[in-house]
């Protein structure tokens, strides 16, 4: 089983975004992108992307769910020589949805655009939906996108662990990964490299 052995303490990139805050006031934050290293990845894998709680909206622009501009940022980082390797897979752990106006925490809605955005930049996309996420048109997702697991409802598509609150590490285990240590961040993106690349 792959094991994350080290996460760089400083992010290599950050992205501004909005997310629902208390009392109906949107919060303006920066999403950190961290580089991590792992053992136990298949030999052909140069890198993977792990995400959790990309629950928010882009700052300005088209008001898309945060996952869509994150995928675009990764494509831009790929074009910069040596910043990150092309990911062989992307693992999305919910929650991914936030209201368009970020007026209230706990909104539920479709996250298809996030899966489509990541499918355009990686050959394989696997997801565990959070309790706020829905896929409106699962048949429209590309073949490279595994049907997202819905983890908090009785009618699950794939078996998985509950993906809510601070149970994020369980979601990664459901995807066949384990994280060493106790670091839990509610909003992060990790780009994982094979340990030998460190």
The size of the chain, in residues, is 198
Q: How far apart are the C-alpha atoms of 133 and 67, rounded to whole Å?
A: 12
Is residue 190 within 8 Å of residue 87, measured between CB atoms? no
The model's pTM: 0.78
Closest CA to 108 of 153, 72, 63: 153
pLDDT digits (tens, 9 = 90+) for 44-60: 888 888 888 899 999 98
Confidence (pLDDT) at 136: 87
Coil, strand or helix at 24: helix
Within 10 angstroms of residue 169's Cβ, the number of other Cβ atoms is 18
Question: What is the structure's pLDDT at 52?
Answer: 87
Mean pLDDT over each residue of the chain, to the nearest integer: 75
Closest CA to 138 of 161, 162, 160, 119: 119
The H or E element that residue 93 is part of is strand 89-93
Rg for the chain (alpha carbons), in Å? 16
pLDDT tens for residues 104-115? 988 899 999 999
Task: Give the mean pLDDT per block of 10 residues along the chain (198 residues).
Answer: 83 92 91 88 86 91 94 90 83 90 92 92 86 85 65 33 36 42 35 47
The answer to whether 162 and 151 have CB atoms below 8 angstroms apart is yes
Structure tokens at 195: 């340990």
Answer for the pair 28, 176: CB distance below 8 angstroms, yes or no. no
């Amino acid at each position: 089983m792959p094991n994350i052995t080290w996460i760089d303490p400083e992010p290599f990139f950050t992205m501004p975004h909005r997310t629902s805050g208390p009392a109906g006031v949107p919060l303006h934050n920066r999403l950190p992108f961290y580089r991590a290293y792992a053992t136990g990845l298949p030999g052909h894998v140069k890198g993977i992307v792990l995400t959790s709680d990309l629950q928010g909206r882009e700052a300005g622009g088209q008001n898309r769910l945060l996952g869509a501009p994150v995928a675009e940022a990764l494509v831009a980082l790929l074009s910069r020589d040596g910043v990150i390797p092309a990911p062989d897979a992307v693992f999305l752990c919910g929650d991914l949805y936030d209201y368009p106006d970020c007026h209230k925490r706990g909104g539920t809605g479709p996250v298809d655009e996030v899966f489509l955005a990541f499918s355009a930049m990686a050959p394989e996309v696997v997801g565990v939906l959070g309790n706020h996420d829905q896929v409106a048109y699962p048949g429209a997702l590309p073949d490279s996108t595994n049907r997202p697991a819905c983890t908090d409802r009785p009618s699950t598509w794939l078996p998985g662990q509950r993906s809510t609150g601070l149970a994020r590490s369980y979601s990664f285990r459901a995807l066949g990964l384990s994280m060493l240590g106790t670091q839990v961040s509610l909003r992060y993106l990790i780009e994982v490299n094979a340990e030998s690349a460190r």
